[in-house]
Structure 1
Amino acid sequence: MTRAISLANFGKTLSKLAITLTLSLGLTGCDYFQTQTDANSPIGAKQIAKLIPKRGQDSKSWAQDINQIFDTLKIEKNAQNICTAVAIIDQESNFKANPPVPNLGQSSLKAMNEELEEKLGSTLAPYFRTMLKTEPTPDNSFEKQIAKVKTEEELDDIYHQMFAYFSSKYYASKLNSVTKLVGGDIEEKLDPITTLGSMQVQVSYARDHRRMNGNNLELRKDLYSQYGGLYYGIHRLLLYKANYQDSIYRFADYNSGMYSSRNAAFQKMLHELSKAEIDYDGDLLIYEKGNKISANISQSEQALISMIQQGMISLTERQVRMDLAKEKSQDFENTETYRTIGSLYKMKTGKNAPTAIMPQVVISGAKLSRDYNTKWYADKVNVRYLNCMNKAKF
């Protein structure tokens, strides 16, 4: 399962991939070493290799890297945590550091053409299209090279060559002007590959959690490596605490975003209490490109505002906005808004507030033959996870 690729924001068309295990750093939970291995015994590289599916190439090397990364990140090496990582890696890449993607070249060209005006402006976009078709030579144009690529790394390499050629041969001064307008590294902003590696990690996430100094190109090379792809993927998967009672919700979170399962449960409570129409997508606020919170009012926020106006809850609109801004962290569970809705739900329904439900997010994009949803993804990962846990009874 891979993610969408598009110019600058094509990766956003795929809901961001997410695992929902109830395992975080140091998570305990059920014991799965009940036969021959003590439940509290850490798993070593040799045992990890046995948990990697046979289709994985060089399981010993993968196991050694996984073992080292768990030690580096200080994540408990129990069966649940190891199998969480194994299941996601297998789902995303079948244990290939740089997996081939069917129809990658043609889908990438389509995405580029659709978004060039938006990203480069109406003046530069036509020249970029001309370069695609004619440079560096008509017989070996960038367009023809892209059409033949099999992996994201190949596409990434051609893209950077193409951008360097474009900026040197065409309108470098105008590109500099565009850079001033959009800010930051325009080459990085326009790169069509936004998720990559064996665990399909968002480049933006890796950038925020760099393990070494270097520029954006070096970071991408690291993500394409076996160790780097695993490091950032395991970091994203297991280094956030979530109070889930079922592993499948961490799988869902890997697909649709951290805490999406918890937030979807909050949205369900809001819907039942307010009767407002709310999508259970796990996003309590509206976000602009670059994950900046929008000033626009979301369905969830509007439902809360309506409940305030009707006297159903004693909160202020300002408090609600401040609390919802914490939706991507565990801190949201300690806010007045979260606690108030949970208490009101229990009082009105007689049922405990749900802590997680499956987010209703559609996965779509050029890498996929058809649309899927987060439940499909989480179920697929869960099958792999359960198979791994069964093998963990050493």
Structure 2
Amino acid sequence: MSYVPRFSWLLAALILAGCSTQGPVSQKEVEKEKERERAQPLDVASVVRQKIPASVKDREGWAQDLATTFSSQQLAPTLENICSVLAVAQQESNYQSDPIVPGLSKIAWKEIDKRAERMHIPTVLVHTALKIPSPNGKSYSERLDKVRTEKELSAVFDDFIGMVPMGQKLFGSLNPVRTGGPMQISVAFAQQHTDGYPWKMEGTVRQEVFSRRGGLWFGTYHLLNYPASYTAPIYRFADFNAGLYASRNAAFQYAVSIATGVKLALDGDLILYGSSDTGSTERAIRKLGPQLGMSDRDIRRQLERGDSQKFEQTTLWREVYRLAEKKSGKTLAREMLPGIQLESPKITRNLTTAWFAKRVDDRRAACMVQN
């Protein structure tokens, strides 16, 4: 009987040892736990109040506008999604609905002269026309000399087009201000995606883009409201800057380049949209026609799906990757940051889409760990 207590003690010790020596938690398990935490539904307004800087004007307005945006678009209210939107707004405008653009007046005058030159209209004639009074009593020239934001500039051009005979000839309906608002969303994109907009518009879609709520709603729609197979948010940030599925299409272009030996610009543009001309990517793929068992018409038709997720189900997608991976002897990426140089009158530095995506992704990551 003297052995029973001793055995019981040994058994208990073994059990305790087993509980305390399961080994360190693997990095994979840690990442899975983090992923589960990121996927937890949250109260959007509460997260925005917590994450947005105290210096931001009307933080409550930002919180309510973004909460309405997520609910009306039926987006998953996860920390990653909320921080992704905030990161873009911080990068593009530092949380301003109508940010000041340095040197905007000079940019405006340069654009006017450029358009006049293209239309063979003497600049002196244009400058004279701009000296007439605008609806607010000041001349267009005076207003242009003092514009500080894109909203102000857009309003000047709208007045000019509507009130001055030469304005319609010079600009027609093509207001040179292409983007605006806290996320610098494309006005053209907003005009094409108004379904489900939760607020009553007092003016035009263009004017709504320059508001906080409109800029957030349309910007969030462009950033999150499309299906994608990406493994990380950074590729959506690149798409936001370069166009839907640009990151996926750039990777496909790389596969085409491997399969054909043709060097291509990895810009995400598979075809020349709005044109019957054949772009470099399409020309390169046509060289694979016999191996793909596809005609030029078949290739074109499937490339036209490059602005949707359905492109990944096409024969062209599958066979190009098959040929490229056979030639390279390795699995090729299905996502890649596009190699695009950013060009805009507002940009004075040497910037790229990859730079933009990485900057925004750093902001997203910081937002997610911020208390």
CA distance in 1, matches of 2:299, 2:32: 36
- CA RMSD between the two structures: 2.7
1:309-331 superposed Cα distances (whole Å, 9 cap, x missing partner):
xx432211111100111111111
Cα distance in 1 for residues equivalent to 2:249 and 2:256: 10
Residue 366 of structure 1: SS of its match in structure 2?
coil
Q: Report the equivalent of 1:234.
A: 220
Runs of 4+ residues over 6 Å off in structure 1: 212-216
Matches within 5 A, 1:1-394: 32=34, 40-118=40-118, 121-122=119-120, 127-132=125-130, 134-136=131-133, 141-167=139-165, 187-189=172-174, 191-210=175-194, 211=197, 218-287=204-273, 292=274, 294-308=275-289, 311-391=290-370
How far is the alpha carbon of 1:250 from its aligned partner? 0.8
CA distance in 2, matches of 1:94, 1:300: 37
User: Shift in Å at residue 141 of structure 1?
Assistant: 3.7
Give me the whole-angstrom Cα distance separating, in 2, the residues matched to 1:345 and 1:43: 45
Give 1:123 shift: 5.7
Quote the offset at 1:38 in angstroms: 8.6
The secondary structure found in structure 2 opposite 1:362 is coil
- When normalised by structure 1's length, the TM-score is 0.79
Gaps of 5+ in 2: 1-30
CA deviation after TM superposition for structure 1 residue 129, in Å: 3.6
Distance in 1, matches of 2:33 and 2:122, equals: 60
With structure 2 as the length reference, what TM-score do the two structures score? Answer: 0.83
Contiguous gaps of at least 5 residues in structure 1: 1-28, 180-185
**How far apart, in 1, do the equivalents of 2:305 and 2:202 lie?**
28
**Residues 216 and 57 from structure 1, CA distance in 2 versus in 1: closer, same or farther, beyond 3 angstroms?**
closer
Aligned length: 337
Larger of the two Rg values belongs to structure: 2
Q: Supply the AA of the counterpart residue of 1:207.
A: Q
Aligned to 1:13: none
- SS of residue paired to 2:100: coil
Partners of 1:252 and 1:358 within 8 A in 2:
yes
Of structures 1 and 2, the one with the larger relative CO (CA 8 A, separation 6+) is 1
Instruction: Please say which of residues 67-76 and 214-223 is displaced more in the overlay.
Output: 214-223
> Is this contact kept in 1: 2:38–2:78, CA < 8 A?
no
What's the % identity of the aligned pairs? 30
Q: For 2:330 and 2:284, how far apart are their aligned partners in 1?
A: 21
Which amino acid is the alignment partner of residue 129 of structure 2? Answer: M
Residues 132 and 139 in structure 2, CA contact (< 8 A), matched pair in contact too: yes
